[in-house]
């Protein structure tokens, strides 16, 4: 529930910093409005954005623990209750009939087995104005690093005002078709603006961020120097014939929450 | 927390526009104008538009007369006890593009959402003297404070996609497309305003 009404400190700080360094007066006003919005949302328990998302959960299961009963059912039930009790919007429907399930379930759940005896659940309520602007390219390896940079920048810029900029750009480089997409989404869980631990990747994140912000889309597509707040890249080895790159775009109303059991 | 205020100064500099639109005021709006809307408007998003189209295809009337009205693309979150409405910011407008020219033909004077419209919609807006406004995506909590009354008019079973009537006061927006065919996103892109 909190994940709907509460922006985490990392995103709030990024919005404040963006406002203070924004060159466009209009964009500065709009950033100010987003900061007020976060304040109202948190004090009055109103969702930050009416699109309270499809619930995407990353579940890290320590290999030393045993779960009694169905973990999947428990999580789905938790999502259902959280959305109902929190007055969050039910936004999930059948893809063919477009009939709303009315509970915001099923949630999209990704499981990973990790060392240790903890169960960690990360929740990312994902709005789809931004999700719809995501994309994936199966580049030829000859496209190289520049090919990946060009694709990521193009994807972020052609999205224009649609994904509610300033955006956060999650990028998955390498792996396979689905691995790249998974990494792009997972990179959004990283505290905002925290650099990749790989030096060359961290430099690439800064280079792409600067390039996107040079393009002038700006806050809400109204101009200025903050089209993106951060670029997060996760990489994974790929096949010698392949260079997948996936871009998952997240809006400035970036909500996320983690808990460890 | 002194940086956080309910009402940014920005709100004080907006041009006031009453709804439904007065034709003269509508004609005077220009791309890039920052406006503050007061009056009544209707809401609709994907499902609402699908249902409008189904009714029109069958030759049946729409549940409301669109003439002179503003249609706001929003699917609000549910109201909590004591609240008028939940969060109610704009959804992305291009998804309504295929349906919009037909509604403009019926006299709809304006639409409001976020993001660019198709060339077909822009052309239809010039032809039918209509405007397109953007409001602020991701500011749903703040925008809900500008909505003073909300009632479902039709399609209640569509949940957040129902057709609502809102009474708004000082609801902030930016004129993106005016009746002359100007497009503010394009102006920003070309001139890097």
Sequence ranges of the domains in chain B: 40-191
Calpha distance A123→A257 (Å, rounded): 5
Q: H or E stretch including A234?
A: strand A228-236
CB contact under 8 A, B77 and A34: no
CB-neighbour burial class of residue B9 (10 A; exposed 0-12, middle 13-18, buried 19+)? exposed
pLDDT value of position A8? 87
Using the structure block, give the residue that is written with the tokens 């419209």. B117
Whether B15 and B36 have beta carbons less than 8 Å apart is answered as: yes
Is the preceding omega at residue B158 within 30 degrees of 0, hence cis? no
Sequence ranges of the domains in chain A: 54-126, 129-253
Q: Most A CBs within 10 Å: which of B10, B31, B49, B77, as the mutation test of the A interface?
A: B77
Q: What DSSP string describes B144-191?
A: HTTEEEEEEEE-GGGGGGSEEEEEEEEEEEEEEE-TT--BHHHHHHHH
Q: Who's near A247: CB < 8 A, 6+ residues apart?
A: A134, A135, A136, A151, A152, A155, A156, A169, A170, A171, A184
CB contact under 8 A, B141 and A218: no
* A9 at B interface, C-beta within 8 A: no
For residue B112, report the phi and psi dihedrals to the nearest 5 degrees.
-140, 130
Using a CB-CB distance cutoff of 8 angstroms, which residues of chain B are in contact with residue A51?
A: 75, 89, 91, 140
Question: B4 pLDDT exceeds 50?
Answer: no
DSSP state, residue A79: H
- Rounded to a whole number, what is the distance in Å from the CA of A227 to chain B's nearest CA? 12
Nearest beta carbon to residue A50 from set B46, B74, B115: B74
Under DSSP, is residue A196 helix (H, G, I), strand (E, B) or coil? coil
Question: B156 pLDDT exceeds 90?
Answer: yes
CB contact under 8 A, A46 and B144: yes
Is the preceding omega at residue A256 within 30 degrees of 0, hence cis? no
Question: What is the ipTM metric for this complex?
Answer: 0.92
CB contact under 8 A, A87 and B77: yes
- Rounded to a whole number, what is the distance in Å from the CA of B145 to chain A's nearest CA? 9
Calpha distance A224→A100 (Å, rounded): 38
Whether A13 and A31 have beta carbons less than 8 Å apart is answered as: no
Question: What angle, rounded to 10 degrees, do the helices at A9-21 and A25-44 form?
Answer: 160
pLDDT value of position B2? 28
Copy the structure tokens of residue A243: 């260079």
Copy the structure tokens of residue B28: 């005077």
> pLDDT over 90 for what percent of chain B?
89
Whether A28 and A54 have beta carbons less than 8 Å apart is answered as: no
Calpha distance B25→B22 (Å, rounded): 5
What integer is the mean pLDDT of B12-18? 85
Question: B69 pLDDT exceeds 70?
Answer: yes
In chain B, positions 37-56, which contact chain A (CB-CB < 8 Å)?
A: 46-47, 50
Q: Where are the alpha helices (DSSP H) in chain A?
A: 2-5, 9-21, 25-44, 71-85, 128-131, 144-158, 177-186, 199-214
Q: What is the CATH number of domain B40-191?
A: 3.20.130.10
CB contact under 8 A, B193 and A164: no
* A44 at B interface, C-beta within 8 A: yes
CB contact under 8 A, B1 and A39: yes
pLDDT digits (tens, 9 = 90+) for B167-181: 999 999 999 999 999
- Rounded to a whole number, what is the distance in Å from the CA of B22 to chain A's nearest CA? 26
Question: What is chain A's pLDDT, residue by residue, as a tens digit (261 residues)?
Answer: 566 788 889 999 999 999 999 988 889 999 999 999 999 999 999 999 999 999 999 999 999 999 899 999 999 999 999 999 999 999 999 999 999 999 999 999 999 999 999 999 999 999 999 999 999 999 999 999 999 999 999 999 999 999 999 999 999 999 999 999 999 999 999 999 899 999 999 999 999 999 999 998 999 999 999 999 999 999 999 999 999 999 999 999 998 888 998
* B5 at A interface, C-beta within 8 A: yes
pLDDT value of position B193? 45
- Beta pairing partners, A174: A236
Q: H or E stretch including B70?
A: strand B70-72
pLDDT value of position B12? 64
Question: What angle, rounded to 10 degrees, do the helices at A144-158 and A199-214 form?
Answer: 40
Closest Cα in chain A to B6: A36
Count of CA atoms in the C-beta half-sphere (13 A) of A196: 24
Calpha distance A63→B40 (Å, rounded): 57
Calpha distance B72→B112 (Å, rounded): 5
Whether B166 and B72 have beta carbons less than 8 Å apart is answered as: yes
In chain A, positions 206-245, which contact chain B (CB-CB < 8 Å)?
A: 216-218, 220-223
Nearest beta carbon to residue B115 from set A38, A102, A162: A162
Under DSSP, is residue B31 helix (H, G, I), strand (E, B) or coil? coil
Q: Where are the alpha helices (DSSP H) in A100-158?
A: 128-131, 144-158
Under DSSP, is residue A135 helix (H, G, I), strand (E, B) or coil? strand
Q: Where are the alpha helices (DSSP H) in chain B?
A: 23-28, 46-57, 100-105, 119-128, 140-144, 184-191
Q: Most B CBs within 10 Å: which of A36, A82, A159, A253, as the mutation test of the B interface?
A: A36
Whether B115 and B94 have beta carbons less than 8 Å apart is answered as: yes
CB contact under 8 A, B116 and A253: no
Copy the structure tokens of residue B153: 């008019």
Using a CB-CB distance cutoff of 8 angstroms, which residues of chain B are in contact with residue A46?
A: 77, 80, 83, 86-87, 140-141, 144
């Amino acid at each position: 529930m909190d994940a709907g009404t509460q922006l985490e400190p990392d995103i709030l700080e990024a919005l404040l910093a963006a406002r203070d360094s924004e060159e466009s007066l209009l964009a500065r006003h709009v950033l100010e409005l987003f900061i007020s919005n976060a304040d109202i949302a948190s004090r009055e328990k109103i969702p930050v954005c009416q699109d309270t998302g499809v619930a995407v959960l990353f579940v890290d299961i320590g290999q030393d623990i045993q779960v009694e009963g169905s973990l999947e059912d428990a999580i789905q039930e938790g999502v259902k209750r959280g959305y109902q009790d929190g007055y969050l919007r039910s936004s999930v429907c059948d893809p063919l009939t477009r009939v709303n399930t009315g509970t915001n379930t099923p949630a999209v759940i990704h499981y990973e087995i990790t060392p240790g005896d903890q169960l960690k659940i990360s929740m990312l309520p994902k709005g789809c104005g931004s999700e719809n602007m995501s994309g994936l390219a199966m580049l030829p390896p000859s496209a190289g690093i520049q090919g990946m940079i060009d694709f990521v920048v193009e994807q972020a810029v052609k999205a224009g005002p649609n994904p509610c900029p300033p955006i956060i750009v999650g990028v998955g480089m390498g792996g396979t078709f689905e691995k790249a997409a998974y990494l792009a989404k997972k990179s959004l869980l990283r505290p905002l603006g925290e650099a990749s631990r790989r030096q060359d990747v961290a430099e690439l994140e800064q280079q792409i961020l600067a390039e996107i912000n040079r393009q002038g889309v700006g806050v809400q597509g109204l101009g200025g120097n903050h089209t993106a707040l951060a670029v997060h890249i996760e990489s994974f080895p790929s096949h010698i014939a392949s260079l997948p790159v996936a871009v998952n775009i997240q809006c400035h109303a970036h909500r996320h929450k983690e808990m460890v059991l | 927390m002194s940086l956080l205020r309910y009402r940014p100064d920005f709100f004080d500099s907006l041009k006031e526009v009453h709804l439904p639109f007065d034709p003269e005021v509508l004609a005077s709006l220009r791309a890039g104008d920052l406006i503050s809307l007061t009056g009544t408007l209707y809401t609709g998003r994907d499902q609402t538009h699908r249902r409008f189209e189904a009714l029109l295809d069958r030759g049946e009337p729409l549940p409301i007369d669109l003439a002179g009205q503003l249609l706001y693309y929003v699917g609000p979150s549910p109201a909590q006890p004591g609240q008028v409405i939940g969060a109610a910011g704009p959804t992305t407008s291009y998804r309504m593009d295929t349906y919009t020219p037909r509604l403009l033909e019926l006299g709809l004077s304006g639409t409001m959402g976020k993001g660019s419209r198709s060339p077909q919609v822009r052309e239809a807006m010039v032809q039918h003297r209509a405007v397109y406004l953007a409001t602020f995506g991701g500011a749903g909590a703040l925008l809900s404070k500008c909505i003073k009354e909300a009632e479902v008019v039709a399609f209640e079973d569509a949940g957040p996609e129902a057709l609502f009537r809102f009474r708004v006061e000082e609801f902030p927006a930016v004129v993106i497309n005016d009746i002359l065919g100007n497009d503010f996103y394009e102006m920003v892109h070309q001139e890097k305003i």
